[in-house]
C-alpha cells in the first residue's frame, strides 16, 4: 500500500485543486473527438487503465509474428475490437509525437509537437485553433490521474523522453528537445518510470548542465539499472534506467542487464496496484517502429512478440482484478510491411508458408544485433551473416553494402537483405497513413468497437477513470505573464544561468521565483512544491493555478 504520507499529500493536492477556480483566460479546445463514435460505445467504468502502444506496428506485423510462432494466436488477438484513425492535425500520415499526443490528451497536434496544441488544424473535420491557443499545453492522462489520487507509470524501450512516453509526461513543441522533456518528467511526480535514456539525465549529457540523476535520487526514487534491481523493487517510487540510450531489441538484449517489456510491465502493475485509488499505466514497445523504419523483419518479430508478452501480463491482471480497462493500439503504421513482395506477384497463392518464414527462423539476432558481432574492419561479414542470420549466399554487392554501412545503421542494410530472401515486402522507410487495429478489454469483457479517432481513446480512458482533462488543463496550464499582470504583478526573467531561466514575479514586498520545467516555486526564499510543472513552450510560459494563487 502506498505510504500514509503519500496518500495524505495526494488528497491534499486533490482538495486544493478542487477549490481552485480556472484562469479567467479560458482555453477554447479544437475539434478532434468523434462524438458519434463515443456515443455508440458501452459505458465502461474502471479503477485502473493500462494503455499499451506498439509504436509503428503494421497489421501484417502481427500476422508475421503469428506465423513465425507456428501459427499460435497472440495475446492481442482476443482483444481485437475495432479500428483507429491515425492522422494528425495537419497531415494524413502522423509522426509519433502528435499521434501519442492524441492518445494522451484527446487532441490532435502537429508533427514533432509533444503534449501541446498544433499551430493550426488543416485536416477535414477539424475546427480552427482559437487565436492564442497555438502550442498551448494540454493535460495528459498521467497528470489527470495523479490529481485524482491515482498512481501513475510510464514504460518504454526507447529513451524514456522519446516522443510517445514524453507525450504522457511532458509538454513542448519539439520532440527533439530532450532537455525540456526529460526535466519535466523528473518533476512530474510519476510513481514508476522504466526505460532507457540514462545519459540524458546526467549533467554531461545535457545542454543545460543539470544533474537530473541526482535530482531523481533526491526526489526519493529507487533507481534501478538492471533486471535484478527491478525484481528487487517492491514499493514506493521506482525509476529504471536500463540503457544509456534506447534499450536493445528483445532478441538482442542481455536478460541480466535489461529486463523484458513484459517484466517491466508486470513489475509496474505490481507496484501501482498497491494504490487503493487505482492507477494509470502507459507501456510502449518503442522499437517495433524502429525496425519498420529500417525494413528489418527480424526486429519486427522480436519486438512484436516482446510487446505481446507485455499485453499478456496486462490482460491477465485485468481478468483477475475485474476493475481494469486495457487498451492497445499502435499510433500509426510504418514501413508498409507485407507478407509477399513483387517477386511473388504471379505465384503468391502457390507458395508454402515456409517460403516466408524459414529464412526468418534462421536469424539469431536483429539487424541491429549484427553490427555488434562484426569486427572492427568488418572482415568477418560472410561468417557473421552465415552464423547469425542464416544467409550463405551473399552477393558481392551485399557484402560491399554491409562493409560500407555507417555505425548505427546496420539494420537498414541487412533488413532488406533478409526481407528479399523471405519475400517480405516494404513500401517505405517512413510511416504510413492507414487505419490500425484497436484492441480493448474492459471490466466484464466490455470492448470498444467500430472505427474511432485516435483522440477518442483518450476520451474513453478519461471517462472510464472519471477524470476531466479539460479541468486539469485549466488548473495546470495558466498563461503566466498575462495572468500575473492582471493581478498587478511585474514579471521579469533571471537569466544568470542562460540555460536554466527563472521567471521572477514581484508584487509589493513579495517575490516569487519560478524555475522553468520544475514543480517548485520560491516565495520570499521559501520553497513551495506545486502540483504541476512550469512549462515554457518556446514563446509563452504556463504555470499551475496554485503558483498564480501565491501572489495576492
Task: Catalogue the active-site residues.
Answer: 96
Calpha distance 36→133 (Å, rounded) = 26
Other Cβ atoms closer than 10 A to 336: 18
- Return the C-alpha cell found at 503: 521567471
Integer-rounded Cα Rg, in Å, for the chain is 24
Where b means 16+ CB within 10 Å and e means fewer, 443-460 reads beebbbeeebbbbbbbbb
Calpha distance 491→282 (Å, rounded) = 37
The strand pairing partners of 535, in sequence order, are 542
The helix (run of H) or strand (run of E) holding residue 526 is strand 526-529
Three-state secondary structure readout of 380-407: CHHHHHHHHHCCCCCCHHHHHHHHHCCC
User: What sign does the CA torsion over 242, 95, 480, 502 have?
Assistant: positive
Calpha distance 362→393 (Å, rounded) = 14
Are 112 and 175 spatial neighbours (Cβ–Cβ below 8 Å)?
yes
Three-state secondary structure readout of 426-467: CCCCCEECCCEEEEEECHHHCCCCEEEEHHHHHHHHHHHHCC
Are 298 and 366 spatial neighbours (Cβ–Cβ below 8 Å)?
yes
- Return the C-alpha cell found at 269: 502493475
What string of DSSP letters covers 143-195? HHHHHTT-EEEEEEEEETTSHHHHHTT--BS-TT-HHHHHHHHHTTT-SEEEE
- Return the C-alpha cell found at 397: 554487392
Calpha distance 261→263 (Å, rounded) = 5
Q: How many CA atoms lie within 13 A of 102 on its CB side?
A: 32
- Return the C-alpha cell found at 111: 508533427
Report residue 3 CA to chain centroid gap.
28
Calpha distance 152→46 (Å, rounded) = 15
The residue assigned the cell 475495432 is 82
Amino acid at each position: 500500500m502506498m505510504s500514509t504520507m503519500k496518500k495524505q499529500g495526494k488528497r491534499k493536492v486533490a482538495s486544493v485543486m478542487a477549490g481552485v477556480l480556472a484562469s479567467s483566460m479560458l482555453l477554447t479546445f479544437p475539434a478532434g473527438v468523434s462524438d458519434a463514435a463515443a456515443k455508440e460505445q458501452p459505458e465502461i467504468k474502471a479503477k485502473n487503465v493500462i494503455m499499451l502502444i506498439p509504436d509503428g506496428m503494421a497489421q501484417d506485423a502481427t500476422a508475421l509474428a503469428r506465423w513465425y510462432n507456428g501459427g499460435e494466436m497472440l495475446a492481442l488477438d482476443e482483444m481485437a475490437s475495432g479500428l483507429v484513425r491515425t492522422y494528425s492535425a495537419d497531415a494524413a500520415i502522423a509522426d509519433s509525437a502528435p499521434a501519442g499526443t492524441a492518445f494522451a490528451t484527446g487532441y490532435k497536434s502537429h508533427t514533432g509537437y509533444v503534449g501541446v496544441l498544433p499551430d493550426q488544424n488543416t485536416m477535414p473535420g477539424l475546427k480552427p485553433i482559437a487565436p492564442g491557443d497555438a502550442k498551448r499545453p494540454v493535460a495528459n492522462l498521467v497528470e489527470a490521474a495523479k490529481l485524482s489520487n491515482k498512481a501513475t507509470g510510464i514504460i518504454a524501450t526507447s529513451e524514456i523522453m522519446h516522443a510517445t512516453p514524453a507525450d504522457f509526461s511532458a509538454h513542448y513543441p519539439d520532440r527533439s528537445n530532450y532537455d525540456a522533456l526529460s526535466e519535466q518528467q523528473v518533476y512530474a511526480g510519476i510513481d514508476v518510470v522504466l526505460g532507457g535514456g540514462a545519459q540524458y539525465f546526467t549533467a554531461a549529457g545535457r545542454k543545460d548542465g543539470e544533474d537530473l540523476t541526482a535530482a531523481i535520487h533526491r526526489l526519493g526514487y529507487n533507481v534501478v539499472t538492471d533486471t535484478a534491481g527491478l525484481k528487487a523493487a517492491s514499493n514506493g517510487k521506482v525509476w529504471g534506467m536500463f540503457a544509456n540510450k534506447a534499450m536493445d531489441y528483445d532478441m538482442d538484449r542481455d536478460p541480466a542487464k535489461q529486463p523484458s517489456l513484459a517484466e517491466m510491465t508486470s513489475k509496474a502493475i505490481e507496484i501501482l496496484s498497491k494504490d487503493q485509488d487505482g492507477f494509470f499505466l502507459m507501456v510502449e514497445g518503442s522499437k517495433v517502429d524502429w525496425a519498420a523504419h529500417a525494413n528489418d523483419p527480424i526486429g519486427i518479430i522480436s519486438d512484436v512478440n516482446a510487446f505481446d508478452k507485455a499485453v499478456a501480463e496486462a490482460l491477465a491482471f485485468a481478468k483477475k482484478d475485474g476493475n481494469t480497462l486495457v487498451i492497445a493500439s499502435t499510433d500509426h503504421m510504418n514501413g508498409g510491411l507485407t507478407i509477399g513482395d513483387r517477386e511473388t506477384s504471379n505465384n503468391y497463392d502457390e507458395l508454402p508458408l515456409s517460403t516466408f518464414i524459414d529464412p526468418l527462423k534462421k536469424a539469431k539476432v536483429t539487424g541491429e544485433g549484427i553490427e555488434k558481432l562484426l569486427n572492427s574492419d568488418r572482415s568477418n561479414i560472410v561468417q557473421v551473416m552465415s552464423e547469425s542470420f542464416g544467409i550463405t549466399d551473399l552477393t558481392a554487392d551485399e557484402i560491399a553494402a554491409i562493409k560500407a554501412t555507417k555505425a548505427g545503421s546496420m539494420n537498414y542494410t541487412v533488413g532488406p537483405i533478409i526481407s528479399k530472401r523471405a519475400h517480405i515486402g516494404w513500401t517505405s522507410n517512413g510511416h504510413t497513413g492507414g487505419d490500425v487495429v484497436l484492441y480493448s478489454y474492459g471490466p466484464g469483457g466490455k470492448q470498444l468497437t467500430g472505427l474511432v479517432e485516435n483522440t477518442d481513446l483518450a476520451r474513453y480512458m478519461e471517462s472510464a477513470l472519471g477524470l476531466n482533462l479539460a479541468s486539469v488543463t485549466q488548473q495546470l496550464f495558466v498563461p503566466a505573464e498575462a495572468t500575473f499582470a492582471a493581478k498587478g504583478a511585474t514579471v521579469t526573467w533571471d537569466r544568470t544561468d542562460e540555460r536554466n531561466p527563472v521567471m521572477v514575479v514581484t508584487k509589493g514586498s513579495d517575490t516569487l521565483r519560478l524555475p522553468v520545467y520544475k514543480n517548485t516555486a520560491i516565495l520570499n526564499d521559501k520553497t513551495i512544491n506545486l502540483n504541476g510543472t512550469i512549462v515554457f513552450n518556446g514563446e509563452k510560459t504556463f504555470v499551475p493555478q496554485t503558483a498564480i494563487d501565491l501572489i495576492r
